[in-house]
Every structure is written in C-alpha cells, then in structure tokens.
Amino acid sequence: MSEINDAIILQGISKVFPSRHGPPIVALEDINLTVKEGEFLCIVGPSGCGKSTLLRILAGLEQPTTGEAIVTIKEEGKPVNSMVFQEQSLFPWYTVRENIAYGLTMRGISPQECQRITDHYLKITGLGKFARAYPHQLSGGMKQRASVARAFANDPSILLLDEPFGSLDEQTRVLLQQELLKIWEGTQKTTMFITHSIDEALGLGDRVLVMTARPGRVKEVLDINLPRPRDLTIIRSQPSFLDLFHTIWFSLREEVLKARNEEMG
Amino acid sequence: MRTEGKIISFFSPLLLLVLWELLARVGVVDIRLFSCPSRIMKTFVPVLLSGELLYHSWVSVRRILLGFAAGAIPGMLLGLSMGLVPLVRAALEPMVAATFPIPKLAIMPLILLVFGLGESSKIFTIAIGVFYLVLINTMAGVLSIDPIYLDVAKNYGASRWNFYRTVALPGALPMIFAGFKLGMGTALLLIVAAELTAAWAGVGYWIWRAYDMFDIERMFTALVMMSVLGYLLSYLLDFIERQVIPWKTPPAQ
C-alpha cells in the first residue's frame, strides 16, 4: 500500500479576538492536527468553541494569532479550498446556475467547460429544473444543495463545510447527508466538516475530532472504522456506531456542561 | 378589495377636479389666483397642439436626462468605492457630510459664474443634486450587503474588479435605484429653479414668463406638464429597475 500524504497540517494555531469590554477572548488555543489526503474529518464541539473560526482560518478568511495552517496538497490549476457556509450564502442576484458556476467563472474557466461542469452538478444535485431560478425561489434544502454543488464544481484540493445542514429539518438533512456522501465518494476529496450533530459526524467522517469548550483545543480524535460506501440508515443501527456515539456523547457532554457553567458564572 | 382600491384611486382625483371647478364657479375659489380646470384646459389644448409646450418640455427633459446621467454615474462609482474600501470612505466621508447639506440653489450663482449662461450650468445644477443622493444611497447599499457574500467572493477567488462586479454592484442595486428615484425627484425641483435665470427655453422658463405676464392659466399648463413628466420619468425608472433587478422578490400582496 502506498504512503498516504498529509493534506493539511495545523501547527500550534491559536486565535485571540480583542473584546471591547473585558479581557480578550481566546477562541482557539494550540491546535495541532494533521489531515491525510482524501480523508473526511468531522469536527464536533460545544457551541462557541471556535470550530467555525478554525475553518475560517483554513479558508483564508481569518488570520491565526499564532501558529500556521499549511495546506500541503496543492494541485496545479485547482483552487486550494472551497467552503460551504453555514448560513444562506448563495448570491440572491444570481440564478442557481450562475451561483454554482461562480468559482469557475472567477478562475476564468472557459464558458464551454464551465457549462459542462455546472450541468454535471446541476444533474447530480437534482437542481436541473431550477437552473434558471433565483435563490429566493428555492427551499432551504435546495439552497444548501446548490451551495454544496458550488463548492464541488470549483474542484478544490480541500473542501471545507461549516455546519452546512444545521438549519434544515431532519428528513431533508438525512437526504442531503446521503447525497453528500455519494458525491464525496465519487471524488474522494480531503474534507473538513463541522457539525454539532454526533450522528452526522459519525455517519460521514473517517475521523471525528472533539473540541473542548472555549478556548477551543483538541480534546480527542476518534477513528470511525465503518465501511464505505456507507448507507446511513444501515450504519446507524450497527453496534460499533452506537459505541462510538456514546463515547463522543460523554466526551462532548463534559465540555457542554463546562461551557454552560462558565456562562452562568 | 384590490378592484375597489383601483376604482377609488381613479375617481378621487377626478372628484377633486370637479370640486375645484364647482367652487370656482360659485366664487369660493378666486379664479384670478387659482384659475379652474376648464380655463386651464382651454389654454392647455392649443399650446399642446401647436407644439410650443412640447418644445419647452423637451428642452427641460434633455437637461434633466443629461444632468441625471452626469450626476448619477459618478455618484454610483464613488459610492461603490466608498462602500467597499474603508480607506476611501474615511477620506471622502467628511467632505460629503460637509457639502451635502449646502442647498444646491445656494450655489447657483457660483455655477453660473463657472459654467456661464449656456446649457452646462443647468445640467450641472441638476447633476450636483442627483450626485449626492445617488452617492449616499449607493454607499449605504454596499454597506448593507451581508458580509457573508464578501466571504464567499474572497473564498472563491474573486479579483478586486470582481468584488465590484459580482458583489458590490448587484448587492447595492436596490438601494442605488432608491437613490435614482430620489435623485429624479430632486432633478424636477431643480430644473424649474435652474431655468429661472439665464434661460430662454424650458418648462421653468415657461412658468416664470407666464408669471411675468400674470397669465395664471399658462402657468398651470406647465404645472400639468411637469406632473405628467414626473409620472413618466418615475415610470421609466420603475421599468428599468424591473429589468435590471430580476431577482428582486415581488412585494407581498
């Protein structure tokens, strides 16, 4: 078996936000982490633990206060990363097609190529009929499908997803998780996925990283040895899934309680 | 409810005209000052048919359109830059805040000195009025864009030019059009004042000439024309807005 390369190396990353009242807020503290090429890493943690900040640092939208985020896989002609945002982030002024093609257009891909790639992702996300619709005409699930399609169409070296399905209803979420798995299994991109749902993290990830309450640190990293390709409805009932669920649940519960105690003084 | 509303909207102005006419006939309204609809129409039809009023209207419309373009385009460009680049905003905002409140009519004499008595002084007067309204609205429009869209543009590798083209401009368009509409209203105000001095044609000139001759009906014909022009110009802007902003959610009924 050939050696699997590292894709992302995080070295001693911390992030401090100045605060107008009181002491500065330490969002992240000494994060060290390596993500392998082609790995699907899920990050769970109590709210406010800085998981989004960590992803934003990787996306180049924030600068770390100390440390370094190094993306070691850089493929010729491909963007380093593309992000799927938590909230509604499709441009309201562009049609679904134009939104999905956004990254390609920005990179100056030829219109024919752009059209071909966009058609492909419109088809596999089932948005073909809505290619010319504007975001306000779509349901929440369709909007997030289009956001995911926009990221995949851009064909980045690493894919960053920040609670992309957090605001969706349960049924839609499971459907979209399944679709994401299918697309991901076809491309095997290095992926970092933030969620607050243990269920989601276990269903999708190769490894799950549990973060501590603020300041966010790496609490533990668990390997999820569930076979791929996965069927979410089947793996949820497997004993190893339930064991892992409990392990993470108790690990996370401790942090959530800690965060709550801090909030209540 | 909606059809009722339409019927009321149609008949209420008509009723007001009838009332005006009746009150004038019984002598409650002084026709030497306020004239009455029938007398105004008697004057209006011939000046309209002779093309005299249309000629003066066209002169004014041309000044309005040129002045509007000369004010709106720089206002929009500067507003986009001020909205998008904090340094540009910091540099220009105090000047805008200090010069915006100066009544545009107060600088008319200066404009006449600088631009002379020809067309350019009238066009500039309108341009400066439109400029500020479009500038301020465009900047506010850019600043009100949800920062998430800037994050998306940055993450997906948008160049500086593409930040303007794909985020700032489309995101601010609804506010830009609000500025255009305010600007058009101001242009109609300013044109009459600008044509008060050193003008030899235009609706404003027409009104002031009629005033000099104490020809109240003639004055009113120009007012009717101004009202029609205002309606048409705002209709034109609404039409362009619908074409340019197809993603705008239709207002809830």
Q: What is the pLDDT of residue A2?
A: 52
Q: Could you tell me where the DSSP H helices lie in chain B? A: 2-25, 31-34, 37-49, 52-84, 86-99, 108-115, 119-143, 147-155, 160-162, 169-194, 203-212, 216-244
For position B251, what pLDDT does the model report? 53
Q: CB–CB of A214/A45 below 8 Å?
A: no
Give the mean model confidence (pLDDT) for residues B71-98.
Answer: 96
- Out of A60, A79, A89, closest to residue B148 by CB: A89
Nearest CA in chain B to A102: B156
Q: In whole angstroms, what is the distance from residue A132 CA to residue A127 CA?
A: 10
Look at residue A1 in the predicted model and tell me its pLDDT. Answer: 43
Task: Let me know if A80 is exposed, middle or buried by CB neighbors in 10 A (0-12, 13-18, 19+).
Answer: middle
Q: Which pLDDT score is estimated for B250?
A: 58
pLDDT tens for each residue of B27-82: 998 988 889 999 999 999 999 999 999 999 999 999 999 999 999 999 999 999 99
pLDDT tens for each residue of B183-202: 999 999 999 989 988 888 99
Percent of chain B with pLDDT over 70: 98
Collapse the DSSP code of A207 into the 3-class scheme (helix H, G, I; strand E, B; otherwise coil) and give the result.
strand
Cβ contact A60–B155 (<8 Å): yes
Q: What is the ipTM of this complex?
A: 0.92
* The pLDDT of residue B243 is above 60: yes
Task: Please provide the average confidence, as pLDDT, over all residues in chain B.
Answer: 92
CB of B242 less than 8 A from some CB of A: no
Domains in chain A with CATH codes: 1-32+41-80+159-182+192-243+253-265 (3.40.50.300), 86-155 (no CATH)
Q: Pick B158's closest partner by Cβ from A83, A94, A106.
A: A106
Three-state DSSP state, B145? coil
Alpha-carbon dihedral sign for residues A12, A17, A23, A28: negative
Instruction: Check: CB of residue A193 under 8 Å from CB of residue A91.
Output: no
Q: What is the pLDDT of residues B198-217, one digit of tens each?
A: 888 999 999 999 999 999 99
CA–CA separation, B158 and B221 (whole Å): 54
* Pair B112, B121: CB distance under 8 Å: yes
Residues of B in contact with A81 (CB under 8 A): 155
Task: Answer yes or no: do B155 and A102 touch at CB < 8 A.
Answer: no
Q: Name the pairing type of β-strands A66-71 and A6-17.
A: antiparallel
- Which residue does chain B place closest to A132, by CA atoms? B247
Which of B142, B151, B155, B248 should be substituted to probe chain A, the one whose Cβ sees the most A Cβ atoms within 10 Å?
B155
Measured CA angle at A259 (ends A255, A261), to 5 deg: 115
Specify the DSSP class assigned to residue B166: I
Measured between CA atoms, the residue of chain A closest to residue B152 is A89
Average pLDDT per 10 consecutive residues for chain A, totaling 265 residues = 80 93 91 94 91 94 94 86 93 97 95 96 94 94 95 95 92 92 91 94 95 92 90 88 93 88 78
Angstrom distances, CA of residue B79 to CA of A38, B85, B141 = 45, 10, 9
- Give the number of A-B residue pairs with CB atoms closer than 8 Å: 58
Residues of chain A with C-beta less than 8 angstroms from the C-beta of B141: none
Instruction: Note the pLDDT of residue A74.
Output: 79
Task: Determine the residue of chain B that is closest to A155 in CA distance.
Answer: B156
- Give the end-to-end CA distance of chain B in Å, rounded to a whole number: 11
Length of chain A: 265
Q: Which amino acid is at B85?
A: V
Q: Provide the residue ranges of all domains of chain B, joining segments of one domain with +.
A: 49-244
| Contact criterion met (CB < 8 Å) for A94 and B167 | no
Q: Please give the DSSP secondary-structure letter assigned to residue A216.
A: B
Please, which pLDDT band fits residue B253 given cuts at 50, 70 and 90? very low
CATH number of B49-244: 1.10.3720.10
Distance of residue B157 Cα from the nearest chain A Cα, in angstroms = 6
Instruction: Tell me if A44 sits within 8 A of A244, measured CB to CB.
Output: no
How many angstroms separate the CA atoms of A211 and A255, rounded? 8
What b/e readout covers A6-20, taking b as 16+ CB neighbours within 10 angstroms? bbbebeebbbbeeee
Residues of A whose CB is below 8 A from B171: 93
Per-residue b/e over A151-179, b at no fewer than 16 CB within 10 Å?
A: bbbbbbbbbbbbbbbeebeeebbbbbbeb
Scanning every residue of chain B, which has its alpha carbon at the shortest distance from the alpha carbon of A81?
A: B155
Judged by a CB distance cut-off of 8 A, whether residue B157 touches chain A is yes
> Do residues A253 and A67 lie in contact, with contact meaning Cβ atoms separated by under 8 Å?
no
What pLDDT shows up at residue B32? Answer: 87
For residue A62, the chain B residue with the least C-alpha distance is: B151
Amino acid in the structure at residue B6: K
Q: Give the amino acid at B244.
A: V
Amino acid at B153: A
Kindly determine whether residue A102 and residue B166, on different chains, have CB atoms separated by under 8 Å.
yes
Instruction: Give the closest of A82, A89, A93 to B247, CB-based.
Output: A93
d(CA B20, CA B43): 17
Does B182 contact chain A (CB < 8 Å)?
A: no
Q: B216-244 vs B37-49: helix axis angle to the nearest 10?
A: 70
Partner residue facing B152 (CB), from A89, A107, A136: A89
